[in-house]
């Protein structure tokens, strides 16, 4: 939808070297994207909260080169150090984007990137990383060709590009919360890019916390791409996609109304459904660890005893996301310190909360 062979620079024009830096956050899906087809298209609509503290900062430097090889000239630094593995992955991604950004092969590009959270924490960084890179690429296009002056067009294209890098990344372009995937419940929603839904949700969810309890920082045993592929042979796949659609409708109504109980119930059901789907895939994956289950049990018990609206979620890994509204932050932090830290690797918790979305820095 964005292919444009006209986006080529006049090699005789004088184009000054420059740079862009974007800080982009991670996000936590409440309705999970799990299963895809075609070119990064989701089998069901998903809905996420945009986080604030777990971010990637990416600087894209560019200068015009004489490069006539037809290939992209890229240097890549991760936390100030050259990183060959990331360079190779990013180069393949940029090459795949040449029909959309043909000018990339006329430039010398250098990417400097780094995360706000410890690399070793085991927190997935593809959503923040790919959204930050997509934003830099759209800034570059706009600077060179003046083609994206409207913020809505800019964000939509950045979301589309981020999706091609990693599906969940398309939701990180927007503050507060976003939906990705066609659903009658959100007008303008699309499988190709995410749609912001901050205006549709109760203010309570804009002051929500998501403390990430790091049960284990070790590499996950299934990459998310391999995980999505497992859905193709899963006997529960079709009912699951239907369930996600129904849950998304119920969730949106609850988020409009500020209904925490329904929100929390769906968040937990979705996390457990994701893990159940992995467990009954072939091959089967069990990504929860004993600490994950201990935390889940303690959260349920704490909620029953105190009545406090504290809920858990998980991504495709063992770490627990603790979700709760801002007005009980002190009580919940005390609960974490007293009861949950013992299940966290080196007692590590990444405190996070719902944020305003990416910013150019």
**Site track 10-39 with ligand DP6 (rule: CB under 6 A), x = hit:** -------------------x--xxx-----
**Alpha carbon 45 to chain centroid, angstroms:** 14
268: contact with ligand DP6 by CB under 6 A:
no
Interface with ligand DP6 (CB under 6 A), residue total 16
Q: How many CA atoms lie less than 13 Å away from 50 in the CB half-sphere?
A: 29
Q: What does the angle CA 49 – CA 54 – CA 59 come to, to the nearest 5 degrees?
A: 115
Q: Which of 125, 168, 313, 350 binds ligand DP6 (CB under 6 A)?
A: 168
Nearer residue to ligand DP6 within complex by CB, 103 or 285: 285
Tokens encoding 143: 């600077």
Per-residue DSSP letter, 185: T
Q: Which of 44, 46, 56, 273 binds ligand DP6 (CB under 6 A)?
A: 46
Task: Please report the beta strands in 202-351, taking only residues with DSSP state E, as ranges in sequence order.
Answer: 208-213, 311-313, 320-325, 349-350
315: contact with ligand DP6 by CB under 6 A:
yes
Closest to 58 measured CA to CA, from 10, 85, 24: 24
Q: How far is residue 117's CA from residue 125's CA, in Å, rounded to a whole number?
A: 9
Question: Which of positions 177-206 make contact with ligand DP6 (CB under 6 A)?
Answer: none
Residue 318 CB, nearest approach to ligand DP6 (Å): 13
Question: Which of positions 291-310 make contact with ligand DP6 (CB under 6 A)?
Answer: none
Question: Which of positions 196-255 make contact with ligand DP6 (CB under 6 A)?
Answer: 224-225, 228
Q: Which of 162, 287, 299, 316 binds ligand DP6 (CB under 6 A)?
A: 316
The number of residues in the chain equals: 361
Q: How far is residue 257's CA from residue 251's CA, in Å, rounded to a whole number?
A: 10
126: contact with ligand DP6 by CB under 6 A:
yes
Residues binding ligand DP6 (CB under 6 A): 29, 32-34, 40, 46, 126, 166-168, 224-225, 228, 274, 315-316
């Amino acid at each position: 939808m964005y292919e444009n062979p006209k986006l080529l620079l006049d090699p005789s024009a004088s184009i000054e070297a420059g740079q862009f830096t974007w800080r982009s956050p991670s996000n936590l899906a409440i309705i999970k994207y799990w299963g895809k087809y075609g070119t990064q298209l989701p089998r069901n609509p998903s809905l996420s909260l945009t986080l604030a503290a777990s971010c990637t900062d990416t600087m894209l430097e560019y200068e015009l080169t004489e490069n006539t090889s037809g290939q992209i000239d890229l240097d890549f630094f991760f936390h100030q150090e050259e990183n060959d593995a990331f360079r190779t992955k990013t180069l393949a991604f940029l090459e795949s984007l040449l029909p959309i950004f043909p000018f990339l092969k006329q430039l010398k590009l250098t990417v400097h990137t780094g995360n706000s959270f410890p690399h070793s924490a085991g927190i997935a960084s593809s959503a923040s990383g790919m959204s930050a890179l997509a934003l830099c690429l759209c800034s570059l296009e706009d600077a060179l060709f003046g083609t994206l002056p409207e913020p809505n067009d800019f964000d939509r294209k950045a979301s589309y590009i981020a999706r091609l890098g990693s599906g969940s990344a398309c939701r990180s372009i927007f503050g507060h919360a976003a939906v990705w995937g066609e659903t009658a419940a959100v007008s303008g929603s699309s499988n190709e890019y995410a749609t912001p839904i901050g205006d549709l949700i109760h203010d309570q969810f804009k002051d929500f916390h998501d403390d990430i309890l790091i049960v284990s920082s070790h590499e996950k045993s299934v990459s998310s791409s391999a995980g999505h592929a497992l859905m193709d042979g899963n006997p529960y796949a079709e009912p699951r996609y239907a369930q996600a659609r129904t849950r998304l409708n119920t969730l949106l109504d609850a988020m409009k109304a500020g209904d925490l109980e329904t929100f929390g119930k769906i968040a937990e059901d979705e996390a457990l459904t994701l893990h159940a789907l992995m467990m009954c895939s072939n091959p089967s994956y069990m990504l929860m660890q004993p600490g994950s289950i201990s935390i889940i049990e303690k959260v349920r018990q704490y909620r029953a005893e105190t009545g406090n609206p504290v809920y858990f979620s998980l991504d495709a890994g063992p770490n627990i996301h603790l979700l709760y509204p801002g007005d009980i932050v002190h009580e919940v932090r005390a609960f974490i310190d007293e009861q949950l830290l013992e299940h966290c690797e080196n007692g590590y918790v990444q405190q996070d909360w719902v944020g305003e979305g990416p910013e150019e820095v």
